């Protein structure tokens, strides 16, 4: 089975320098959604027909086992599929998809492909719409057999009343498809080569056209402008939110979360409003995410809580971890069980041991921290000298006083205490108090300056 994806259109109504098929939906390009589905179908080959700004489309799909064919002139859907004919053999089953119709379910396409055989070389995906305006109508005979598809601009008043419409998605045997494509004419209102004309050719050849329909209209919605893009985004996000609730998640407001990737959840997960998930996110049992948080490629263990306004990226947390509010976990952060990251704390490439606490106004970067530590407010690991980065090592049960600078590379031994206000440039021994402070002075006779 081979998939042909039509992605050559300019998308003028998008009013964008980005090709239409690269416009984002749930954090991925429209075309990416279609390519993902094609891969799920185990297609032997994915042929993408490109035209407008083809170099950008090809760059976006680089390394995804997608082949490209060029449509230098946009002369209609039939003309677009014709460009892929050299790659199609008589024995192939060909599935035609559209780069701006991103949400067709794999199960729907499986059903469509099952209808195609030597005896039935063409199958269509159709749908019944309350308002079919703009769509090609499915014309059937008195026995309900498909006879043709008539485009909106070519339809007569009686045909315009038909509510069953063409989605554009079809599957066909290679031999017949190539034959029908070679017979296409452009004698229509648009002066284009319509792919839909092959339906009448199939009937004329004595074959019955098979049809199936999707479970939901969202599967066949296309995108032509930013309003439609936003509308589809909201519908899709609600669909994703409903799927989470079916799995048992408590969503405080299902209309105010955004999933731009994949979210896996355990039992009794609670998600507050305005939370954004990106990439791959795993939430263990009883995890709670506060309002206005962003999580990107994050794995959180059971009973972990993320307080509001926190931003987590490429981070891992164990069980019963407390994060935030207003925390920022940057890539490479690993928090062991019962660790605590408080408000206005930033971590990066830091491993923080079980039960350790970094509560306030602190930066911990390139750090290996043991268990049971307490890091005072305003502490900074000075890990960058302007050219290279160095590691800070903090042993178990260390207490670091507030407003301390640990200038890496430096090691603080197990059980050590660092006095508040210190700048530590040398290793601090285990179990000892280390501090560095200038002598406190009070200047006698000093007077506060007055304005002249």
Pairing state between β 122-128 and 164-173: antiparallel
Please tell me the chain's helix, strand, coil percentages from 3-state DSSP, rounded to the nearest 5.
20, 35, 45
67 SS3 class: strand
Strand-strand pairing, 417-418 and 146-150: unpaired
H or E stretch at 96: strand 93-98
User: Are 129 and 207 within 8 A, CB to CB?
Assistant: no
Query: What does 243-272 look like in DSSP terms, one character per residue?
Result: HHHHTT-EES-GGGEEEEEEEEE-TT-EE-
Cα angle value 160/104/145 (rounded, 5°): 45
d(CA 337, CA 248): 24
CA atoms within 13 A on the CB side of 426: 4
- Active-site choice (39, 52, 120, 360): 360
Q: Could you count the other beta carbons within 10 Å of the beta carbon of residue 331? A: 13
Give the integer Cα–Cα distance in Å for 355 and 350. Answer: 15
Q: Count Cα atoms within 13 angstroms, Cβ side, for 275.
A: 24
Would you give the DSSP letter of residue 51?
-
250 CB neighbour count, 10 Å cutoff: 12
How many C-beta atoms lie closer than 10 Å to residue 183's C-beta? 11
39 is catalytic: no
Asked if 1 and 117 count as a contact pair (C-beta separation under 8 A), the reply is no
Contact 140, 229 (CB under 8 A): no
CA angle at 236 for the pair 231 and 237, rounded to the nearest 5°: 100
- Residues carrying an active site annotation: 360
């Amino acid at each position: 089975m081979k998939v042909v994806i039509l992605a050559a259109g300019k998308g003028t109504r998008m009013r964008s320098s980005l090709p239409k098929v690269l416009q984002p939906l749930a954090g991925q390009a429209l075309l990416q959604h279609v390519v993902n589905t094609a891969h799920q179908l185990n297609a032997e080959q994915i042929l993408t027909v490109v035209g407008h700004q083809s170099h950008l489309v090809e760059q976006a799909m680089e390394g995804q086992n997608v082949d490209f064919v060029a449509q230098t002139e946009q002369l209609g859907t039939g003309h677009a599929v014709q460009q892929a004919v050299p790659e199609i053999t008589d024995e192939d089953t060909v599935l035609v998809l559209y780069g701006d119709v991103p949400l067709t379910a794999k199960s729907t396409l499986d059903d469509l492909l099952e209808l195609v055989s030597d005896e039935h070389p063409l199958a269509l995906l159709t749908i019944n719409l309350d308002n079919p305006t703009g769509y090609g109508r499915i014309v059937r005979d008195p026995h309900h057999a498909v006879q043709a598809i008539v485009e909106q601009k070519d339809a007569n008043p009686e045909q315009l009343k038909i509510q069953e419409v063409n989605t554009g998605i079809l599957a066909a045997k290679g031999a017949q498809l190539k034959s029908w494509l070679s017979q296409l004419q452009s004698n229509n209102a648009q002066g284009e080569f319509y792919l839909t004309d092959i339906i009448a050719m199939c009937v004329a050849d004595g074959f019955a056209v098979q049809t199936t329909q999707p479970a939901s209209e969202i599967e066949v919605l296309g995108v032509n402008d930013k309003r439609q893009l936003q509308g589809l985004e909201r519908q899709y996000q609600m669909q994703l939110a409903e799927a989470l609730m079916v799995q048992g998640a408590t969503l405080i407001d299902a209309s105010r979360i955004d999933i731009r990737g994949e979210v896996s959840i355990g039992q009794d997960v609670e998600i507050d409003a305005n939370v954004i998930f990106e990439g791959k996110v795993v939430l263990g049992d009883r995890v709670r995410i506060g309002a206005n948080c962003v999580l990107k490629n994050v794995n959180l263990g059971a009973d972990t809580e993320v307080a509001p306004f926190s931003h987590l990226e490429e981070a891992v947390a164990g069980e019963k971890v407390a994060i935030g509010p207003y925390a920022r976990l940057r890539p490479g952060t690993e928090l062991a069980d019962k660790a605590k990251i408080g408000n206005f704390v930033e971590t990066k490439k830091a491993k923080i041991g079980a039960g350790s606490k970094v509560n306030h106004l602190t930066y911990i970067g390139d750090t290996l921290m043991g268990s049971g530590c307490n890091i005072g407010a305003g502490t900074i690991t000075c890990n960058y000298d302007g050219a290279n980065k160095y590691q800070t090592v903090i042993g178990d049960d260390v207490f670091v006083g507030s407003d301390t600078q640990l200038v890496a590379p430096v090691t603080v031994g197990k059980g050590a205490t660092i006095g508040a206000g210190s700048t530590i440039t040398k290793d601090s021994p285990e179990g000892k108090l280390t501090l560095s402070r200038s002598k406190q002075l009070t200047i006698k006779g000093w007077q506060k300056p007055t304005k002249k």
